[in-house]
């Protein structure tokens, strides 16, 4: 199943409170539960003005549908082609 990195432009994302992040997470999980097991949220990275989310889904369309249903921006959706790490250098 393909993996995607979603870039979400959210001004002030890095200053969101724990309660606000919990609410966003609950909304996302609620939408995911209605969409079925073929789409999964793995994790997200919160930066100053963006949130980068990693999802597994059959296609980009399903990732964008999740964003639309949840009311989240999906400014860029990129399929991960390869994962590298320091062991790749060995």
- Tell me the per-residue pLDDT of 20-51, one tens digit each, with 9 for 90 and over: 999 999 999 999 999 999 999 999 999 999 99
Range of the domain at 72: 3-82
Query: Does 87 reside within a domain?
Result: no
pLDDT computed for residue 52 by the predictor: 98
pLDDT computed for residue 4 by the predictor: 98
DSSP code at position 33: H
Q: How many domains does the chain have?
A: 1
Query: Does 30 reside within a domain?
Result: yes
Residues 6+ apart with CB under 8 A from 48: 13, 14
pLDDT computed for residue 21 by the predictor: 97
CATH label of the domain that carries residue 65: 3.30.70.3090
Yes or no: say if 73 and 67 are a contact pair by the CB < 8 Å rule.
yes
Q: Please state the separation of Cα 32 from the chain's center in Å.
A: 11
- Tell me the per-residue pLDDT of 49-89, one tens digit each, with 9 for 90 and over: 999 999 999 999 999 999 999 999 999 999 999 999 999 99
């Amino acid at each position: 199943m393909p993996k995607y990195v979603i870039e979400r432009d959210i001004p002030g994302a890095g200053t969101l409170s724990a309660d606000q992040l919990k609410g966003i997470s609950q909304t996302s999980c609620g939408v995911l539960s209605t969409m079925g097991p073929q789409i999964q949220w793995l994790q997200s990275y919160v930066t100053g003005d963006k949130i980068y989310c990693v999802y597994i889904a059959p296609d980009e369309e399903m990732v964008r549908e999740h964003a639309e249903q949840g009311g989240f921006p999906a400014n860029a959706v990129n399929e991960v082609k390869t994962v590298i790490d320091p062991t790749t250098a060995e």
